Amino acid sequence: MGTGKGGLLATAVAVVCAITVLGAPGAAFASPIPAPTTTSTPAAGAQAPALPSTATADKNLEAVRARLETLYHDAAVATDAYNAAEEAAQKQSAEIVELAKKIVAGQQKLAELKDRAGAAARAQYRTGGLPDEAQLMLSNDPSEFLDGAGRVRQGQRATKGLITQLTRTQQDLEQYSKDASAQWAKLETGRKIKAAAQKKIEKQISEAEKLESRLEKKEKARLEELERQSAQKAQTAWLDTGILHEIDSAASAQGKKAVQFATAQVGKPYVWGAEGPDSFDCSGLTSEAWKSAGRAMPRTSQEQWQQLPHVPVEDMRPGDLIIYFSDASHVAMYVGDGSIIHAPRPGRTVTVAGAGSMPILGVVRPDA
């Protein structure tokens, strides 16, 4: 790392470059679209092939739905990795800047201490470096010398203190440099993780979009209906457990503010890595909602699950966050009456859904 004010400038420039690289959008990773199959006109008298039955068509669409669910789930996992790397990069960049400031301040202090040490050395040179006894014998006024000798001893003690400060400052500078180098290494590792996650996200979403693009208009409508039916079936099963009879806690003051924020975002598109104000991913929505209520919290759904206090499902209240899937790859905000607000996936908007429409891992409370 560079030193002095130039070092600080170089550090700041490098930080900006790192952040720019980390934030730059990657290229899309599209898989080739299969060539359309050709069909021939049936010969005279030949029967046209029978159209697939509704049951067969639904079975095929169900397979498509399952595949899309897998693709978007994998994209959500990668989005969490991307968001975590982004959050870490911001912290590491800030730490590097602070270390650079400490290095500059340390160098200034070191220069000042060296000037003082030089002045002390010059003063000693002017006395000829003679021992006190010799200077006493050569002095014309012994009493004046003794007064001066007391000041010299004070100066000697000050010189020792000066040397101690010089040593400590040099050690501090060395440690700051090592810490900055370590942060740069972490920043580079995070950049690679973020780039790999971005590549996976774009690949999974691209494949999902291509799969959906091959469907006819009626098939797309039927696919959405199958998705709705699947979610409704899961929600009904969850409600049939009688869970709502146990969930009757009122929202906290901060929880109400978080719910109000989330409700105001309904209809805005899902965009991976987004924290608003025009689009959100799942954890971007929940973290920003609670930030608006005055409560800072982790950025990703996995970190929210790991770091926030857990509460039993039957004790949850509006504003609490429900974490979904065994890998904590999705999060939503509970808003009461068995409902959630969440940003589902690419191609969808922030919406209200049933709290039991996905497999629940657990519930966390930001303001516990």
Residue 73: active-site member: no
* Catalytic member of 17, 73, 245, 282: 282
CA-CA distances (angstroms) from residue 320 to 76, 239, 250, 311? 21, 18, 11, 9
Structure tokens at 90: 């911001």
Dihedral sign, Cα of residue 95, residue 99, residue 100, residue 101: positive
Rounded Cα–Cα distance for residues 231 and 344 (Å): 12
Task: Decide: helix, strand or coil at residue 226.
Answer: helix
Those residues with Cβ within 8 angstroms of residue 249's Cβ, 6 or more apart along the chain or in another chain? 315, 316, 317
**Length of the chain counted residue by residue:** 368
* Catalytic member of 17, 245, 310, 342: 342
| Upper half-sphere CA count for residue 209 (Cβ side, 13 Å) | 16
Cα-Cα end-to-end distance for the chain: 43
* Catalytic member of 17, 245, 310, 330: 330
Q: What are the catalytic residues?
A: 282, 330, 342
